[in-house]
Amino acid sequence: MKEQVIPYKIYLEESEMPKQWYNVRADMTNKPAPLLNPETLQPLTKAELSQIFCDELVEQELDDTTAYIDIPKEIHDFYKMYRPSPLVRAYCLEEKLQTPAKIYYKFEGNNTSGSHKLNSAIAQAYYAKKQGLKGVTTETGAGQWGTALSMACAYLNLDCKVFMVKNSYELKPFRREVMRTYGANVTASPSETTKVGRDMLERFPGTGGSLGCAISEAVEVATQTEGYRYVLGSVLNQVMLHQSIIGLEAKAAADKYGIKFDTVIGCAGGGSNLGGLIAPFMGEKLRGEADYDIVAVEPASCPSFTRGKFAYDFCDTGMICPLAKMYTLGSSFMPSSHHAGGLRFHGMSPTLSQLYDDGFMRAKSYVQSEIFEAAVEFAKVEGILPAPESSHAIKAAIDEALRCRETGEEKNILFGLTGTGYFDLMGYEQYNNGTITDYVPTDEELQKGFDRLPKVNR
Amino acid sequence: MKEQVIPYKIYLEESEMPKQWYNVRADMTNKPAPLLNPETLQPLTKAELSQIFCDELVEQELDDTTAYIDIPKEIHDFYKMYRPSPLVRAYCLEEKLQTPAKIYYKFEGNNTSGSHKLNSAIAQAYYAKKQGLKGVTTETGAGQWGTALSMACAYLNLDCKVFMVKNSYELKPFRREVMRTYGANVTASPSETTKVGRDMLERFPGTGGSLGCAISEAVEVATQTEGYRYVLGSVLNQVMLHQSIIGLEAKAAADKYGIKFDTVIGCAGGGSNLGGLIAPFMGEKLRGEADYDIVAVEPASCPSFTRGKFAYDFCDTGMICPLAKMYTLGSSFMPSSHHAGGLRFHGMSPTLSQLYDDGFMRAKSYVQSEIFEAAVEFAKVEGILPAPESSHAIKAAIDEALRCRETGEEKNILFGLTGTGYFDLMGYEQYNNGTITDYVPTDEELQKGFDRLPKVNR
């Protein structure tokens, strides 16, 4: 252990990078509920899942007993190009807040995808390549996941078909161009290239599309094209597994300097970042080796943990995907179109949902004007312009540090800075112009989503 | 010295970061020629320069004898937030090229300004703050320098007024919003807020502006507003000094692993990156301690080194700034509007110009379709989407590595990856669509610029 002068940024040596992912399900007494076939309401079999996902990922999806899974050398080599990511001591933010707390953040934005999404994209692309597949399909909304997958596929020389929600395709041409630059085939969804898309266009001519429809198109192409499978950037157990690299690195870096975190904070949409960041800390907590205050932060406009139901639901608004047991607002829930702060998914990772339901973590929510205010405060003192998503964790960390200023506690706070906001400047523009609006759904609005939850819950 | 297993990325420890800048002029026998007052044609005095620049920067501008200048603690602390930048071994590019050469790049893009510009922005803002000034003014074209300066000023709580070329202001709203988010006052140039701007608008209603006009507006405001000075992101000797941090870090990282570079390659617009990257290597070469093949790379559309004249010229198209002796295409030269690849400045750092004229470095140029092709090849194997500017260095490094494949030489090649291309996606879009055009000025076109060089040269 090095002496206690903490640098601004702690980088692991390449030789210190984790060589295995950690599967938190292995240490859970109450395992996450299985995915169900929406027609039979029976747990999905390996054979059924293998029609959608590639084989090794199906194994990972279903494995809830193996605690550590080797990271293949090829993925580890790719990780070395942009990892280890730094564990940063937020000295300037601490000074600005005049807090006795010590604030750390794990920064995942230093790669062209601009976020942690690349950690799972390369893994999913690698297993597809290993299986001898020709390519993968996926959907993307804002474009972060699509960009990450395009990068991974370019590296492995794998075909990549991305269905991008039409509104985003038109409003975020730069995200689209990054994907095209990496060789991806990017199609505005709904499109004429699938049955689902053609039906949608006939029913709603001029629609701007939705994530649910884009998922349906991507799944249709994957299941009906020889040599293709579908990949997804969040929610799934396999994604939580790959993203555990975030928390494992953070813990290894902290251990080098004898830092023991008290509070671990992550933003939560589908849960990919939160699940990854907290993994090893949650493991210690589950095994009774240490205690941590683990906090999920979500937008008040899409409050799945704080106001949702723990129930079986569809992962997509099109209601064609498997049923997952999770905290959900109902697959018909649509966050306000005024919401610029990301994390718009109606549900939540089944693994995280179970952990939350069992009391191993807490959750809080903020409206987006609070989020952008925290983002700008952070950017001015720490330099990095954060993604609005990441800024949910920043806001919660600032609040915790200010609480410590009141109580005098010298807590060690860790939060996940999942990415940069370089492609989110329309949201910042609204904030700078004072035209950003906060939206919180009423109980009645939420009830409509709950009323449409699948019958299996009744 | 560590054993010879070179990691993908070499990071210096915080304690190993350089504590002094290196001033290459101290080791030059032929010093760069002094800036001249355009009216008297006499070297500018300290008093004259102090009306434009703040005092300590004037000292640095004029000091051509002190080899090492301390980096103030406050600047060093700011550097720690985003530096040291990694020295990266391009293993994947080497494999793709099947070259025996070893390729390294110093990556300066891991900060929100997206480039090396922040290294000098924080220094210039710091000295302004130290002098008790209220704020600084500057111009920005594409927005990289304006962003860097906005970040530095936000950190120091200094007012920042940026005149942004109107075309860019309208076509690059996201760059504008980053600056506004950091609290900068961003004005489209020409504007109604200055005499120069009003004159320009009266003569050319509806003009999209130019860098020359934006410089004039920024200088007018700086010199006529109590407590303000003007700052500039390239060309000046002081900028070369601050940017030496790039080369010093690269050399320290290489020394840790016993790496001895043979070739050092940098892109060149005004020279801020090239001058910084090569500084310590050029110093060794000037002192006769080591030899390096030092290569400047510029766009064929704006070929100041390869086809320009070494002469006194204005730094701005508006012809109000001091005269600098440099390689220039003439201050009236305008690169084609079809040029998306950056590095559009008509002149070149006087320091680098003198070194080039004295034979201490060579220069080459490429057309932009070659540049974007190299950029995409690099992005696909190394992950990072490079700025078009940086891609000039990538192209030259690839060519050198391919030459080594022919000859079998195991050369160590270093190039500067100055920044990311996240705000340059319109150029990539043109490339992806196959609509990018190459432009090379004819000798007759260049002669027009030379004919208008100031009379002092005759």
Task: Determine, for residues A80 and B425 on separate chains, whether the beta-carbon distance falls below 8 Å.
Answer: no
Ranges of H-type helices in A165-210:
166-171, 173-181, 195-203
Task: Determine, for residues B423 and A422 on separate chains, whether the beta-carbon distance falls below 8 Å.
Answer: yes
Mutate to test the interface with B, among A174, A176, A257 (most CBs of B within 10 A): A174
CA neighbor of B356 nearest in space, from B395, B404, B306, B390: B306
| Residue in B8, B82, B177 closest to A383 by CB | B82
Tokens at B171, concatenated: 């076509």
Task: Determine, for residues A380 and B13 on separate chains, whether the beta-carbon distance falls below 8 Å.
Answer: no
Give the start-end residues of each E strand in A242-371.
Answer: 263-267, 293-299, 309-314, 323-328, 362-366
Task: Determine, for residues A80 and B13 on separate chains, whether the beta-carbon distance falls below 8 Å.
Answer: no
CA neighbor of A149 nearest in space, from A161, A141, A133, A164: A161
Q: Is A363 left (phi over 0), alpha (psi -120 to 50) or beta?
A: beta
- ipTM surpasses 0.85: yes
Residues 6+ apart with CB under 8 A from A20: A68, A69, A70, A71
**Packing angle, helices A237-256 and A272-286, rounded to 10:** 60
Chain A residues within 8 A (CB-CB) of chain B?
Answer: 7-9, 11, 13-14, 80-82, 92, 110-112, 114, 151, 154-155, 173-174, 177-178, 180-183, 376, 379-385, 420, 422-423, 425, 428-429, 431-432
Task: Determine, for residues A380 and B180 on separate chains, whether the beta-carbon distance falls below 8 Å.
Answer: no
Name the helix (H) or strand (E) containing B264: strand B263-267
Chain A residue closest in CA terms to B122: A383
pLDDT for B3: 55
pLDDT for A3: 54
- Averaged over B360-371, what is the pLDDT? 97
Task: Determine, for residues A110 and B112 on separate chains, whether the beta-carbon distance falls below 8 Å.
Answer: no
pTM over 0.90: yes
In contact, B303 and B290? CB cutoff 8 Å: no
The amino acid occupying position B375 is A
Chain B residue numbers touching A147 (CB-CB < 8 A) = none
User: What is chain A's pLDDT, residue by residue, as a tens digit (458 residues)?
Assistant: 445 789 999 999 999 999 999 999 999 999 999 999 989 999 999 999 999 999 999 999 999 999 999 999 999 999 999 999 999 999 999 999 999 999 999 999 999 999 999 999 999 999 999 999 999 999 998 889 999 999 999 999 999 999 998 988 988 889 999 999 999 999 999 999 999 899 989 988 888 888 878 988 999 999 999 999 999 999 999 999 999 999 999 999 999 999 999 999 999 999 999 999 999 999 999 999 999 999 999 999 999 999 999 999 998 776 778 899 999 999 888 777 777 777 888 899 999 999 999 999 999 999 999 999 999 999 999 999 999 999 999 999 999 999 999 999 999 999 999 999 998 898 999 999 999 999 999 999 999 999 999 988 87
pLDDT for B4: 72
How far apart (Å, rounded) are the C-alpha atoms in residues B446 and B303? 10
| Residue in B181, B379, B382 closest to A376 by CB | B181
Chain A residue closest in CA terms to B427: A177
CA neighbor of A150 nearest in space, from A194, A113, A190: A113
- Averaged over B399-403, what is the pLDDT? 98
In contact, A360 and A286? CB cutoff 8 Å: yes
CA neighbor of B122 nearest in space, from B139, B136, B109, B110: B136
Q: Is the dihedral of CA A111, B83, B178, B377 positive or negative?
A: negative
Mean of all residue pLDDT scores within chain B = 94
How far apart (Å, rounded) are the C-alpha atoms in residues A448 and A380? 41
Chain B closest-CA separation from residue A323 CA (Å)? 35
